Structure 1
């Protein structure tokens, strides 16, 4: 079993989508199920509707899964297992106040040492441990020996026992902390491999400690993906527009192209342009670079253009607002100067929109428009051009500049003869 575990707290980040794609690919390769676990226990940060938005985006990218689980539905298991750890003395109640802990953290900061909880409540007398009058958290006891993580990408990583303190697993309001809920849920779902971002690396030994304390003996494999950097070489954040999958889709990047690029980043594929189904044939976690991958919007534009080229004309026409193969073919002509379906849609829209004609050629444009309205149908551009030129009495730049503006709404662009091939059936609509 593999799992993708997003939180419904904001737009899906491309790093999260990359994790989802890799989990999907490996689940297909291993013929194991993929579940989606919505980690919604942090009620204060959850945003209504974001869970469905996540599922919708996965659907857009063709990421299939067997079921959706909401972490909050497992809270009874979290509570039961925390109680088990308390009964077995593998965890203890902690009555330290937030103010006291903040004071200890500040002292550690001033002493320039890493803060570690000092186990002040680890050996309290029984009458205090069972005290229900004062608020308390539950802490798991710190490890006695090092914890070793074997990672497909990072290799073997050792966490010494003194690097992990007796951390909180249940809050005062008895809601589970992230690491505890995550570790328990992975046990319940019988997860075999966890693929996630390397920002979770520090969580991994804690989750291993929790599972071992609960007597879970199955070894879970790990693959921690390097972070994605922005074009300035800094960690990509929500301030970077391109970090949002929703933004990329709205800008006109095809799902197939985004997936292609995210799989390509820091990887060694057999070819540059491919579809998700192809990646299942050759993808290998061990080929992912250990170093951070830098997001290159120009590379994505290149890949997007190649994927647009592969679209059937009728499918492309829908992206630009039509359902006509001819318009799809027309859009492909504009790929020389466009990289996204949004750009292409704007190019096509300008052909059918009301035209803004400069004053100095307005009279010529009106003459050409009248000639087009009165003209018979011409299959070939040369015949059309000859007729309109004769009827308008215009020639040279006094003819071709207004003609281009009247037909396309732009001063520059593809050769008019190429454009004419696909708009000849729409001429009267264009010059309405």
Structure 2
């Protein structure tokens, strides 16, 4: 069992999507189930509708999963197992106020030390605990020996009891903390392999300690992926990239390619399943480069079916897909292609400097019979308008494309000939 565990407290970013993609690929390679677990226990920070948005994005990227689980549905298990840990003296009630804890943290900071809880409440007698009439958190007792585990990408990892600490597993309102809920749910769902960001590396020994304390000994394989940096501060929201006209297949291609040894630069997720190996992933942090993504997106736009591209551009005609591809010398996203198509189908002013010629051409085009190719149309216009070829060409190019450069009319005409009346009326 593999799990992808997004948080509905923020937009899905490329780091999170990359983890989802690797989970999907590995689930297919191992022929194991992949579940999506929405980590929604932090109710005050959950954004309404964000869970549905995440699931829609996973569907858009064809990340198949067997079921969706909401972490908050397991709270009764979180609380029950916390009580078990307390009964077994593996966890304890902590009555320390926020002010006291902040003081301890500040003292550690002033002394240049890493803050760890002083275990004051761990030593309270049962009688004392019963006499205290105030709210409390629940802390798990720190381990008595080092926590070690093998990371499939980063080799053996070792953390001391001080690294793990006596950390909180239930808040004052008895909702589970992040590490506790994750550890329990991974145990309940029999998860075997977990992809995480290397930024979460320090959380892993805490989660292992929780399961060890609960007597769960089944090994879980961990892969901590290097961070994705973004030096140019481009938006890394997946939703934003889609809105900007990047294809899901291209975004997925780029994220799997980043810091990875692949047999080819351009591929689909289905192709990646065939050759993907964890040991080929770099352990160094990788840089998100919007220009590289544009290059990959352009290559996928070149490969996409013409009719499919047409539909993505708001049409249902393969010729429009072919027309869109003519602009790939300068365009690299759907939005950039749409901008060029919008110029063709938009209302146009008369060509500056050729206003009179433009009016003559428009009238002639409205009365022109259907022409199969551009040379026929050009010959017809030259004959009917009596304009010089240079004047005709400049004015006609602007009237049909609203621009002076770009693909030639000879290239464009085969794909707009059926729309000529509509274009001239614009």
Please give the TM-score of this superposition, normalised by the length of structure 2.
0.98
Does residue 256 of structure 2 align to residue 263 of structure 1?
Answer: yes
Counterpart contact for 1:148–1:205, Cα < 8 Å: yes
Shift of 1:416: 1.0
Equivalent residue number for residue 298 of structure 2: 305
CA distance in 2, matches of 1:341, 1:49: 26
CA distance in 2, matches of 1:129, 1:222: 38
Aligned pair in 2 of structure 1 residues 332, 142: CA closer, same or farther (>3 Å)? same
Q: Secondary structure at the match of 2:195?
A: strand
Instruction: Identify the range of structure 1 (408-417 vs 21-30) with the bigger mean alpha-carbon deviation.
Output: 408-417
Could you tell me which of 366, 373, 380 is aligned with 1:380? 373
CA distance in 1, matches of 2:212, 2:197: 23
Q: Secondary structure at the match of 1:122?
A: helix
List per-residue Cα deviations over 1:88-132 (Å, max 9, x = no partner): 000111111000110111111111111111001111122222346
Shift of 1:358: 4.7
CA distance in 1, matches of 2:349, 2:307: 29
Shift of 1:69: 0.4
* 1:130-149 matched pairs, under 5 angstroms: 130-131=130-131, 133-149=133-149
Aligned pair in 2 of structure 1 residues 133, 357: CA closer, same or farther (>3 Å)? farther
Equivalent residue number for residue 366 of structure 1: 359
Shift of 1:290: 0.5
CA distance in 2, matches of 1:59, 1:106: 46
Shift of 1:141: 0.5
* 1:164-313 matched pairs, under 5 angstroms: 164-232=164-232, 240-313=233-306
Counterpart contact for 2:195–2:222, Cα < 8 Å: yes
Q: RMSD between aligned alpha carbons? A: 1.2
CA distance in 1, matches of 2:163, 2:314: 57
Q: Secondary structure at the match of 1:130?
A: helix
Equivalent residue number for residue 353 of structure 1: 346
Equivalent residue number for residue 325 of structure 1: 318
Q: Secondary structure at the match of 1:242?
A: coil
Shift of 1:206: 0.3
- After the TM superposition, which segments of 4 or more aligned residues of structure 1 sit over 4 Å from their partners? none
Counterpart contact for 1:109–1:115, Cα < 8 Å: yes
Counterpart contact for 1:24–1:64, Cα < 8 Å: yes
* Stretches of structure 2 lacking an aligned partner (at least 5 in a row): none
CA distance in 1, matches of 2:146, 2:217: 17
Shift of 1:287: 0.9
Shift of 1:241: 4.6
Could you tell me which of 389, 396, 408 is aligned with 1:403? 396
Q: Secondary structure at the match of 2:328?
A: helix
Shift of 1:389: 2.1
CA distance in 2, matches of 1:215, 1:187: 10
Counterpart contact for 2:351–2:358, Cα < 8 Å: no
Shift of 1:394: 2.2
List per-residue Cα deviations over 1:125-169 (Å, max 9, x = no partner): 222223462111111011111111211111111112222211111
Instruction: Identify the range of structure 1 (132-141 vs 67-76) with the bigger mean alpha-carbon deviation.
Output: 132-141
Counterpart contact for 1:78–1:181, Cα < 8 Å: yes
CA distance in 2, matches of 1:161, 1:91: 15
Shift of 1:336: 1.4
Equivalent residue number for residue 89 of structure 1: 89
CA distance in 1, matches of 2:200, 2:10: 18
Q: Secondary structure at the match of 1:385?
A: helix
Q: Secondary structure at the match of 2:194?
A: strand
Q: How many residues align?
A: 425
Equivalent residue number for residue 23 of structure 1: 23
* 1:412-431 matched pairs, under 5 angstroms: 412-431=405-424
Q: Secondary structure at the match of 1:44?
A: helix
Equivalent residue number for residue 335 of structure 1: 328
Counterpart contact for 1:241–1:247, Cα < 8 Å: no
Counterpart contact for 1:352–1:430, Cα < 8 Å: yes
Counterpart contact for 1:319–1:345, Cα < 8 Å: no
CA distance in 1, matches of 2:97, 2:194: 35
Instruction: Identify the range of structure 1 (336-345 vs 57-66) with the bigger mean alpha-carbon deviation.
Output: 336-345
Q: Secondary structure at the match of 2:21?
A: helix
Shift of 1:357: 3.5
Q: Secondary structure at the match of 1:343?
A: helix
* Stretches of structure 1 lacking an aligned partner (at least 5 in a row): 233-239
